Amino acid sequence: MSVDGYLARLGVERRPEPSAATLVDLHRRHLDAVPYENLAIMLGAPTSADPAETLARIADGGNAGYCFHHNGAVELVLRELGFTVERHPASMLQEVGSSGELDHLVLVVSGLPTPENPGGRWWPDLGYGDGFRDPLPLVAGVHRQGTFVYRIARLSERGWTFHHDPSNSFLGSLVGPVGVSQADVDANHARLSTPPDGAFTRLLVVQRRDERGAETLRGIRHLRAGEGAFARDLRAYDDWRRVIAGLGVSLAGVDEDALRLLHRRMLVAHEDWLVRG
């Protein structure tokens, strides 16, 4: 029932056949309907990374979360629809090397050959926030989508390195060989979502990738990469709240005073960042 509710939220009336065209369509629809965000974490009530719970929440019109949530829930949907799916661990690239920890869950769908991708292996990813609009063919080399350029390097059975477009929010990621347990995902979700050191506990982040680019709210900083690029600070609470809702985040049941307090925290964090230069 959660799968059908998920499809309904995406505007899909009946279960589609497992094809490359279906994968692309679901990928685009998900990006349009379900934003990447860490609102629950920033409000001190993180949800679990359990894929079934996340899928039920999405189907009910609620928020998903960040990468573990999105990709975990989508994996359930794809398997239910008959796709062949692999799970890979990934760590985010830093200025030197990678974090070396499980920061991201990568899905690979196989068995869908097309003229442009005869090997039939695809990389859908709904958990990068400002990542790719369409699933990437899992082929080493440069991949262009609109104004953005991505690169897959050192592709082998041991994994690969992903280099993100330089205009976006992160450098890329180092993907490992197939196989990652839900227990590992849960443990690292706790690490990432627990203050004071958790990476997702410091700034509110909301992102949505659309057909022309990617829009991001980070703290009070509102940015767009791609076509129509801009950057502005949302110092007024009403403007900030309007952007959160406009990016597709559900505020149903969110305490307004808690949301105002979060805005004040993000405003202070922004001022500290300006002072540090």
Q: In the chain, where does DSSP find H-type helix?
A: 2-9, 20-33, 39-42, 51-59, 67-80, 182-193, 237-246, 256-276
Q: Is residue 45 part of a domain?
A: no
Cross-strand partners of 105? 89
Q: How many of the other CB atoms lie within 10 Å of CB of 69?
A: 31
Domain contains 238: yes
Asked if the structure places residue 220 within a domain, the reply is: yes
Q: Is residue 207 part of a domain?
A: yes
Contact status, residue 218 vs residue 204, Cβ threshold 8 Å: yes
Q: Is residue 8 part of a domain?
A: no
Domain count, the chain: 1
Neighbours of 162 (CB within 10 A): 28
Decide if 208 is inside a domain.
yes
| CATH code for the domain of 213 | 3.30.2140.10
Q: Can you give the pTM of this predicted structure?
A: 0.95
Q: Which H or E run contains 148?
A: strand 148-156
DSSP summary character for residue 200: G
Task: Provide the residue-wise pLDDT of the chain in tens; the chain has 277 residues.
Answer: 799 999 999 999 999 999 999 999 999 999 999 999 999 999 999 999 999 999 999 999 999 999 999 999 999 999 999 999 999 999 999 865 567 899 999 999 999 999 999 999 999 999 999 999 999 999 999 999 999 999 999 999 999 999 999 998 899 999 999 999 999 999 999 999 999 999 999 999 999 999 999 999 999 999 999 999 999 999 999 999 999 999 999 999 999 999 999 999 999 999 998 888 7
Residue 258: which domain range? 194-276
Question: Is 248 contained in some domain?
Answer: yes
